[in-house]
Amino acid sequence: MYPDHPLADERGLSPIAFVLNVLWLVLGGALAALGWFVAALIMVITIIGIPWARAAFDNGVYTLWPFGAKPMARDRLYGEDIGTGPLGFLGNIIWFFLAGWWLALGHIFAAIGLAITIIGLPFAWAHLKLAGFALWPIGRTIVASNVRSGYYRRAY
């Protein structure tokens, strides 16, 4: 993550997003995020998985605190980097076939199960957001919901 990452913004979350995030953490979000962080650590240890470790870590951050946040292409926010070009596209294709589609499918099944109850609807929506990010995470980052393209773009 970048030092001026939008999720570290001093404006904070809305009270509703904060309460939903706390409920999410207590009801299983913390465990799911821990799984992503362990997966990122294993990817780093295997060395061959290093290109995908950041994607797994970003998935963990998003899973930890999904309300009041959204994914956005990094190049629209910070400018071009290695993950936003052709290598990032190739990494996403490999990720999609090896992990992305079945991870997204798991989030979709969880969303369907949660959408059965009215209380579960916000959490079902969070799982659908996580499913979209799990499909194609490389070259994307997590930002606050109110951030627009170019908001944090640096001038070099």
pTM of the model: 0.76
pLDDT digits (tens, 9 = 90+) for 66-111: 998 888 888 887 778 777 888 889 988 988 988 888 888 988 998 9
What integer is the mean pLDDT of 8-31? 81
pLDDT digits (tens, 9 = 90+) for 100-136: 888 889 889 989 988 998 988 998 999 899 998 889 8
> Where does residue 49 fall: left (phi above 0), alpha (psi -120 to 50 degrees), or beta otherwise?
alpha
Q: What does the pLDDT read at residue 3?
A: 47
